[in-house]
Amino acid sequence: MSATATVVERPPPRAQGWPRRRIIGYALVCLWIAFGVGLVSYLVVAWNSELFAKYAPSYLQGLGVTLSLVGISITLGAILSLPVAYARMSKNRILSGLAYCYVYFFRGTPLLVQTFLVYYGVGSFKPQLEMVGLWGFFREAFNCGVFAFALNTAAYQAEILRGAIESVPKGQWEGAASLGLHKLQTLWKIILPQALIVALRPYGNELILMIKASAIVAIITVYDLMGMAKLAYSRTFDIQAYIWVAIVYLVIVEILRHGIEWIERRITIHLKR
């Protein structure tokens, strides 16, 4: 062993005094503190217990609508993403081409346009839908939202699933085949446990994205959390309506983000060295 290998790299000396970046950093933090204090003091000054008593229950109700919308569409999307991911990975050119087009359409156009396409667009097919008895379903804005969101998230989830499955080395499939496991067993017992570790973070991001995106159903007259805020604002013209809703969304997203990080730490414990 040479002598140089024993030289330990010294940590860089800590910056003393007030270098420029520290001044800028403190200034920015002070700016944030001023912003926070301003916001809190505004909320305290503008506190109106009558308004709060009137709208807090409706916000809670809206939160329930938001969560159920996201929950239903994520679940439906997960189910729908299985055949899409399968088709996307299949060797059949037509099947994989169709799945590619599906994914490209739903990832390439804004969710708002898709939601409008479903909510306003189904009106153009009213006679046909009445014939098959689906008109009652699409007349509800909530159902239209769920329909559009499920199709959208299915495209994203299919890509996540495909990426995760393809991230597992091919040798795992071959090893399983040489042990005499058939395809489905291999997928279930060997590939998926490894793939899902890779997929957890993208799935979590997708969940957060859906929570955030669900605010747009307020535009198609669903009274979710954002819809309630819009209603409260249009009645009172009080900007507090949006500030409170922003706080609620921020809290939900932060809880989810930290929860996902915690789960990821737990399930990758065996990979740590």
By CB under 8 A, residue 34 contacts another protein: no
By CB under 8 A, residue 40 contacts another protein: no
Task: Kindly tell me which of 75 and 109 has the beta carbon lying closer to another protein.
Answer: 109
Task: Kindly tell me which of 168 and 248 has the beta carbon lying closer to another protein.
Answer: 248
x-or-dash pattern for another protein, window 48-77, by CB under 8 A? ------------------------------
Q: Rounded distance, CA 96 to CA 89, Å?
A: 7
**Structure tokens of 165?**
């499955």
Q: Are 198 and 167 in contact (CB under 8 A)?
A: yes
**Structure tokens of 37?**
């204090």
Q: Are 85 and 161 in contact (CB under 8 A)?
A: yes
Least separation in angstroms between CB 263 and another protein = 19
By CB under 8 A, residue 28 contacts another protein: yes
**Structure tokens of 64?**
């329930």
Least separation in angstroms between CB 124 and another protein = 4
By CB under 8 A, residue 215 contacts another protein: yes
Residue 68 has φ and ψ, to the nearest 5°, of -70, -35
* Residue burial 162-195, b: 16+ Cβ < 10 Å; e: rest: bebbeebeeeebeebeeeebeeeebbeebbbeeb
Residue 36 has φ and ψ, to the nearest 5°, of -65, -45
By CB under 8 A, residue 253 contacts another protein: yes
From 216, 222, 228, 232, residue interacting with another protein (rule: CB under 8 A): 216
User: Which range in 127-135, 149-157, 195-203, 208-216 contacts another protein by CB under 8 A?
Assistant: 208-216
By CB under 8 A, residue 135 contacts another protein: no
By CB under 8 A, residue 242 contacts another protein: yes
Q: Rounded distance, CA 111 to CA 114, Å?
A: 5
By CB under 8 A, residue 218 contacts another protein: yes
From 54, 139, 189, 212, residue interacting with another protein (rule: CB under 8 A): 212
x-or-dash pattern for another protein, window 222-241, by CB under 8 A? ----x--xx--x-----x--
**Structure tokens of 218?**
């307020």
Site for another protein in 108-127 (CB under 8 A): 108-114, 116-117, 120-125
Q: Following DSSP, what letter does each residue of 134-190 receive, concatenated?
A: -HHHHHSHHHHHHHHHHHHHHHHHHHHHHHHHHHS-HHHHHHHHHTT--HHHHIIII
Nearest to residue 147, comparing CAs of 114, 99, 108? Answer: 114
Residues that bind another protein in the complex, under the rule CB under 8 A: 12, 15, 19, 21-22, 24-26, 28-29, 31-32, 104-105, 108-114, 116-117, 120-125, 211-216, 218-219, 226, 229-230, 233, 239, 242-243, 245-246, 249-250, 253-254, 257
